[in-house]
Chain A
């Protein structure tokens, strides 16, 4: 078990990186508490798998350090780090039985056979594999194989952290939910640090206590699912998390107030008076945009039914916006008025939340 610290981590796959685009990871500083459930969330190619492989020791970073409980493990190979990893495609040792698969990491480390027996049975019980211990691993379904991978991670008691690299990619949709709940349950029973890499926001937000959102080799925001939703630090987080994503409208700033096409908006993070430099935008989630008696005029384009609410697509001050309308609330065909919730309207400068929060 360990607290994991990443210090000034940078990585490039090219031998002599020149431009910014050569860096798969730009500059990562993170601290993960022992026993936490973390998710690394980001689009494909944002560097999350690279980061995971650096933590497990499969990759040596170009610069920076990885610390487990304050101890530098950067030069250590994976087998010395006491790390477990579950991969995107299930890895099982085909010729072995399920039992031997689970016992493999223990036997490789010279654990006594009776201890192996006891531990494997315990883990098999937890991962619902107890009934098939004698079967050949090759004959199992994808979710069964993924459980074996997971079990091989859990079986070692000295494991510092368990890393998951998009483990549900090849799992059937109706089993994804089951396996995800299983993971949650296991995390309660075996409180080890778990780091879960995914590009699926549902997986990240349901699994993790803390979500790290990455984009283009950088950490954009770290926070609880609520924080990511309520206070996105970057417009990217606004777009990436939430369905539909945050509305972002270009604006200008005068006297500390945001102006869109001459209409002033109150934001939750006003700037001090003056005319600061930069490209400004305001962002508001569709959840916090409401139909009102009076407010900013808009015209309706279309309405989509999404079950418990409807998504209205409107044009307001020349920009397409989306808002959620609760069930039963009537949407007038003409003379639409929108109310912006000032507590959830944010001002962004060059993509980042303006004001105090500006530095990443």
Chain B
């Protein structure tokens, strides 16, 4: 078979190329450019090599943000994935309640992120917020603007509220695609509830759960708007996650070089972890 040569085809790819160039390649290259230069203002730049990268990787401030970020992402994954699967298992498979549950589940996902932050900011206020006031009335000394533990509690609770639905919806989609015959066969084989979950439901949900974990990992590692509106990174730096810290360096202190270097390190961490996770999860799949 001869390959047809048709150079005109490139024209059709052009719009996508332009789009990707403007929203990804050019901005990324700008960041690369900043990350290897030093400036003292007036648009004058000096070559500085890999100095910013070394600085960032050695900086205690970066280590602290990265640790907080890891704790945050780890916690929400550990809560949201099992919780999401449990809720999906408990949801009805037939009848009108299916739609009701799906709509309820989709609601938090539809709310703009800054609104979520603002809602929880007010909801958790110890003097007027429903949650804050209730907790205090129950005898807890709760104040998320002053106490580190309370701030983390509120932050994680907010994310769980906002994003568990995503895991639920994906897991539910995986569950309903399992043919009845599997459950019938398992019944006949005398499988326990746990065995049904372990050998039928979990394997059939593997693909969607891989996607869910990847999405939740990337999104939570990038999270900015909600914590900034909720706690602003405080009290002190207690909830300053990587993205919040990055914005402080880039726009607060206007240290473009270090901020650019940090962005790239940040980007590479997400890319690397996602790639490892995906490779491991899909390694044994042949059909």
Contacts and interface: CB of A to CB of B under 8 A. Distances in A.
Contacts of B199: 93, 95-96, 104
Contacts of B184: 53, 56, 58, 78, 85, 87, 91
B187 interface: yes
Interface in A205-264: none
Interface residues of B, number: 18
A109 interface: yes
A288 interface: no
Dominant secondary structure of chain B at its interface with chain A: helix
B63 to A, nearest CB: 39
Contact of A95 (B185, B189, B203, B286): B203
A109 B200 CA distance: 18
A299 interface: no
B286 A84 contact: no
User: Which of A53, A87, A139, A152 is most buried by chain B, counting CB atoms within 10 A of its CB?
Assistant: A87
Contacts of B187: 58, 77-79
Nearest to B284: A136
Interface residues of A, number: 25
A85 B185 contact: yes
Nearest to A153: B188
Contacts of A108: 189-192, 195
A83 interface: yes
Contacts of A138: 286-287
B188 A79 contact: yes
A158 B251 CA distance: 75
A89 B203 contact: no
A227 B182 CA distance: 37
B181 A89 contact: yes
A88 B181 CA distance: 8
B252 interface: no
A105 B185 CA distance: 10
A88 B195 CA distance: 23
A91 B190 contact: no
Given A58-B187, A84-B188, A104-B191, 18 more contacts: A53-B184, A78-B187, A87-B181, A87-B184, A91-B181, A91-B184, A93-B200, A94-B204, A95-B199, A105-B188, A105-B190, A108-B191, A108-B192, A108-B195, A138-B286, A138-B287, A139-B286, A139-B287
Interface of A: 53, 56, 58, 77-79, 83-85, 87-89, 91, 93-96, 104-105, 108-109, 138-139, 149, 152
